[in-house]
Amino acid sequence: MVQMKRLITSLILIGLVLTGCSKSTVAPPPPVTAPTAPQITQKPAWETQWETTVAEAKKEGKVVVYTLWSSAARGALTTGFKNKYGIDVEFTPFSRGSDFIAKIQAEQRAGLYLADVFGAGATTLISTMKPAGLLGDVEPILILPEVKDPKVWRDNKFPYLDEGRTTIGIIGMVLPTLVVNNTMIKDGEITSVKDILKPEYKDKITLNDPTVPGSGNAIIAMMADWLWNEQEAMDFLKALLKNGAVVERDNRTGVEWVARGKYPIGVGPHTESLAQFISMGSPLSIPNIKEPPNGTASSGGLAIPTKFANPNAAKVFMNWMLSKEGQSIFATTYLNPSRRIDASTEGIDPIFIPKPGQKIFWDEERTIKGKGRIMAATKAIIEAAQ
């Protein structure tokens, strides 16, 4: 009887254990979750700002640009900007920086702000217009990330030419110190700029006038501020004049004289004229000299006034002008390389494009302002020589 009770108790315990095990193996039902709302991606702040600016610019309908740029560049930029945004570009061209400045000053004295953008030489903008209080701060109107990214610009540096950030240098061109007629001056014959002071080159040299803004002034200023010092640069100029160098103010004539062999050596050749004569097959070469060249923005200075006629159109044009598209259009029609390294160089002569690792004396505010001082110094020397 006792054994029977123990057997029954054991069977009951075994049943309970088996029942517990079977319950533990049953997976609980999955929890019921509420459906998630779709994620909404918020636009970056710059994109919203850009869309608003473009919409307002289209209402303004045009941007007004005062410039010294070539007709080819003006035409291509007008078409490119109109196709992109449907906004007109009204260019007011000038042939001389002095006329450019006089018009702006006259307008502002009358309380008129008719221009939105300035395109001129760096010397005109920094040495004259900035001290006169005619330029505004560029940085606040730059919106596009592809424009503000320093990696797309030469030397990983956005190309401001001054500390106040009023002027941008959009051209990054190597300015040849010398040009020669290669049918008269052989390759390797001139290896230093001071070689042209040798007696065999007497009366064979033309110098782009250094007493006015331009390539001749830029070369002498580079010698004074970077290459040597001011005294040595002035001594070089005196020796050059003593060796019969002829000073020529007309940019095209100076290059043409070298191309025709009238003066087989040119100092400070005008780059736009040089590019045109080379493209026509003229026998012109840049001698490989030991002295590093000047790097310049030339006429590729970009700035804005203190007040706009069309503020939103001005912002859109400036950002587009500094984009890869805008810089490619400008560079390939102006035949000068952009400071933007991803811009097209199609059709630009390699002599103007910086080579990898090449030592170049790039213009900056100090050297640009120094060009005015060099103009006065060279004028005194040339007048004395004459």
Q: Which of 63, 64, 62, 74 is nearest to 299 (CA)?
A: 74
Give percent of the chain above pLDDT 70: 90
Same-domain check for residues 155 and 260: no
Q: Within a domain: residue 101?
A: yes
Same-domain check for residues 152 and 97: yes
Confidence (pLDDT) at 28: 56
Going by C-beta distance under 8 Å and a sequence separation of 6 or more, which residues neighbour residue 10?
none
Same-domain check for residues 309 and 217: no
Same-domain check for residues 248 and 315: no
Q: Within a domain: residue 86?
A: yes
H-type helices in 86-200, by residue range? 97-109, 122-123, 145-148
- Sort 384 into a burial class: Cβ within 10 Å, 0-12 / 13-18 / 19+: exposed
Q: Within a domain: residue 13?
A: no
Same-domain check for residues 271 and 228: yes
In CATH, what number is assigned to the domain containing residue 109?
3.40.190.10
Same-domain check for residues 114 and 206: no
Same-domain check for residues 166 and 191: no
Q: Which domain holds residue 379?
A: 177-292+370-385
Confidence (pLDDT) at 33: 58
H-type helices in the chain, by residue range? 2-24, 45-60, 71-85, 97-109, 122-123, 145-148, 215-222, 230-242, 251-260, 271-279, 311-321, 324-334, 365-385
How far apart CA 274 and CA 235 sit, in angstroms, is 27
Residues of the chain with pLDDT under 70: 1-40
pTM (global) more than 0.85: no
The position carrying tokens 């919106």 is 143
Same-domain check for residues 283 and 304: no
In the numeric block, which tokens belong to residue 270? 């005008």
Q: Within a domain: residue 348?
A: yes
Give me the number of domains the chain comprises.
2
